[in-house]
Amino acid sequence: NAGVTQTPKFQVLKTGQSMTLQCAQDMNHEYMSWYRQDPGMGLRLIHYSVGAGITDQGEVPNGYNVSRSTTEDFPLRLLSAAPSQTSVYFCASSYIQGVIPSPLHFGNGTRLTVT
């Protein structure tokens, strides 16, 4: 049982380049989300999805796009990378069971550097 799988683990981009961070989960979780983690800032929500075909913005969505074509996959696209997007990115998923959020399962993270 792999859980939440993120690829790549590390990435270096030049300003203006685009790329996609991959996230896949094998737990049949309805809820999937992307967070970025910066020193002293904690975990900030970028985008989230409550099911295939449904996505919504989080706290810091600018510069990022997402789609959810299947239950398993939730890729995060950087359209035109900027140095401010240098961060560690975590994908997380959970069941949806009523109004109380279920525990999040996090991937191992992607460390992104934009030069």
Partner 1 sequence: GQQVMQIPQYQHVQEGEDFTTYCNSSTTLSNIQWYKQRPGGHPVFLIQLVKSGEVKKQKRLTFQFGEAKKNSSLHITATQTTDVGTYFCAGKLNSGYSTLTFGKGTMLLVSP
Pick the piece of the chain touching partner 1 (CB under 8 A) from 10-18, 39-47, 66-74, 76-84: 39-47
Question: Judged by CB, which is closer to partner 1: 78, or 107?
Answer: 107
Beta strands 110-114 and 10-13 are parallel
Residues whose CB falls within 8 Å of the CB of residue 67, separated by 6 or more in sequence, listed in order:
55, 74, 75
Ranges within 56-85 binding partner 1 (CB under 8 A): 58
- The 3-state DSSP class for residue 85 equals helix
Could you tell me which residues are beta bridge partners of residue 35? 45, 90
Under the criterion CB under 8 A, does residue 2 sit at the interface with partner 1?
A: no
- Binding residues for partner 1, rule: CB under 8 A, are 33, 35, 40-45, 48, 50, 58, 90, 92, 96, 99-101, 103-109
